[in-house]
Chain A
């Protein structure tokens, strides 16, 4: 039996979760929300996390109803992510690990998303599309690594959506992507946007510049509505993502596909992926916002797997790093 507590704070979400043998006991979360038209900056985000981390920790422990003595392992996000928010949360994990005299494990954020997705959906060996504000990767497991088959060669898909939301001055509550999704449902007219797929990689920066430049002009002329633009943007960038995922599935001969990451809770993306999977006779696995969006339980889950396979981390290795690729981690818990 393994009970793990996980601390996550690599971007604008602060989450602490407790997992006991794959069962989520608690998973509270707070999101730092900025005014419309603005993104979140590292310093302010770190301040947010510092202000509410103890309250969230208390909530996680109270909801889980466990004694801290029963915890086997303390896990935190080692990277990748924004430096200041990462460190703000890691320092709390390091402190409680010493207070409770428990071992500490630093977890790769991307791996945590994948492991949580596998736990919740029961997917065995899926091709993974990991889409969030900072990451866009198509991943498949082979020979003890999660290997990246395709990824963005510039900005992440969530970043592209967030920045377009700023152009339209959409609310960041609960998230810019959610508001784009709601507007897109009412869009009808399709504006053709640059579609950039390079092998199994995608690029969004040209598309973003294009739509940022044209948006005001086509809105003022009344040719397109903001809803049409949200619709066109979603249709185009999601089609790119589905295409590279399908290429990777064809390349690896995979019959399962799993979507993880914050953008992964978009229903239209899930619907498109479902159609693609159906056509290939493959199975789609997706989770909802509780587990798609950054949370503490996923860090605890990946940490439990590492712990069960016998991994330990020396105290001096429990630092944070902004750059930490998915394929750098040796996956000791899978065959």
Chain B
């Protein structure tokens, strides 16, 4: 077992260390794979640490499966190792994060990057709307947790539901869960709004495009969520009252 573990480790290359997990590239049964390993956080009480790690690994796999069932692009899950808190999943080829994509556009055409980003905002809105209409809450919607994967030209998926040759892939469902309440969906949108506006200043117009297409993607019931979002924004302001 030890030798096998060592051999496997040799093949794993650390790509990135996030806040709670290490992301490796490697292989699973001969296929290129991404391995997400949640590691223990030394600052946390051991009981709390264990419970959060198990809870989030499960939550992540469940939410990914739910999204795939309703046709939202997420990496396919190959295997889950609960002992080592690892998820083996599909390596999304030729991808960049939405965050990088927006930053690149801001650099290359700063004058009208907002209008250039409109199709992306539409796609984000529609995708999150569809996800919420099936009661899946992501829990950490930021532009770092959305990938744009370049589609092969003339490939089977080209055209149709794509965005200038890219498809939008949602990742990092560690805080995800299933919930039908408008409150939870509203908070999910609020998290997205805050992350979007703090990371990409002066893009308020884009967020309203996201909301418009959220309504379209969601269908009936979207108005309740948007009303909740307004309510949560008011709550958000309240906390600055006392210092």
Interface of A toward B, CB cutoff 8 Å: 10-11, 77, 79-82, 109-110, 113, 132-136, 140, 142-143, 145, 147-156, 159, 190, 192, 195, 197-201, 235-236, 239, 242-243, 246-247, 249-251, 271-273, 275-276, 279-280, 294, 322-326
Contacts and interface: CB of A to CB of B under 8 A. Distances in A.
B139 to A, nearest CB: 6
B241 A148 contact: no
Interface in B45-92: 45, 47-48, 51-52
A149 B19 contact: no
A272 B43 CA distance: 5
B142 A80 contact: no
A243 B19 contact: yes
B239 A156 contact: yes
Contacts of B31: none
A249 to B, nearest CB: 8
Nearest to A130: B243
A110 B240 contact: yes
A324 B240 contact: yes
B194 A148 contact: yes
B155 to A, nearest CB: 32
Contacts of B52: 195
Interface centre among A197, A273, A326, by most chain B C-beta atoms within 10 angstroms, is: A197
B98 interface: no
Nearest to B55: A195
B199 interface: yes
A149 B243 contact: no
Contacts of A273: 43
Contacts of B43: 239, 242, 271-273, 275-276
A323 to B, nearest CB: 6
17 contacts: A81-B241, A109-B243, A135-B243, A156-B239, A159-B242, A192-B47, A195-B48, A198-B139, A198-B191, A199-B142, A200-B142, A201-B191, A271-B43, A275-B42, A280-B17, A322-B241, A323-B241
Contacts of B238: 323
B45 A239 contact: yes
B243 A10 contact: yes
Interface stretch (B123-131, B211-219, B229-237): B229-237
Contacts of A143: 201
Please list the 9 inter-chain residue pairs (A to B) with the smallest Cβ-Cβ separation, ordered nearest first: A134-B242, A199-B191, A272-B43, A275-B43, A109-B243, A80-B240, A246-B19, A147-B198, A235-B45
B242 A326 contact: no
Given A142-B201, A323-B237, 18 more contacts: A79-B240, A81-B241, A110-B243, A133-B243, A134-B239, A145-B201, A156-B239, A190-B45, A190-B47, A199-B139, A199-B141, A199-B175, A199-B194, A235-B44, A236-B45, A239-B43, A247-B19, A279-B42
Given A239-B44, A239-B45, A251 B201 contact: no
Given A242-B43, A246-B19, A134 B139 contact: no
B5 interface: no
Interface of B: 17-20, 41-45, 47-48, 51-52, 139-142, 144, 175, 187-188, 190-192, 194-195, 198-199, 201, 232, 235-243
Nearest to A236: B48
A190 B142 CA distance: 33
A328 B63 CA distance: 36
Given A148-B198, A149-B198, A199-B191, A325 B237 contact: yes
A317 B19 CA distance: 43
Nearest to A251: B144
Interface centre among B140, B232, B242, by most chain A C-beta atoms within 10 angstroms, is: B242
B37 to A, nearest CB: 15
Nearest to A143: B201
Contacts of A148: 194, 198
B54 to A, nearest CB: 13
B44 to A, nearest CB: 5
Contacts of A249: 19
Contacts of A192: 47-48, 51
A36 B173 CA distance: 43
Interface centre among B47, B140, B198, B235, by most chain A C-beta atoms within 10 angstroms, is: B198
Contacts of B237: 323, 325
A107 B188 CA distance: 33
Nearest to B99: A251
Contacts of B187: 153, 198, 201
A149 B191 contact: no
Given A198-B139, A199-B141, A275-B42, A239 B48 contact: yes
A160 to B, nearest CB: 12
A137 to B, nearest CB: 8
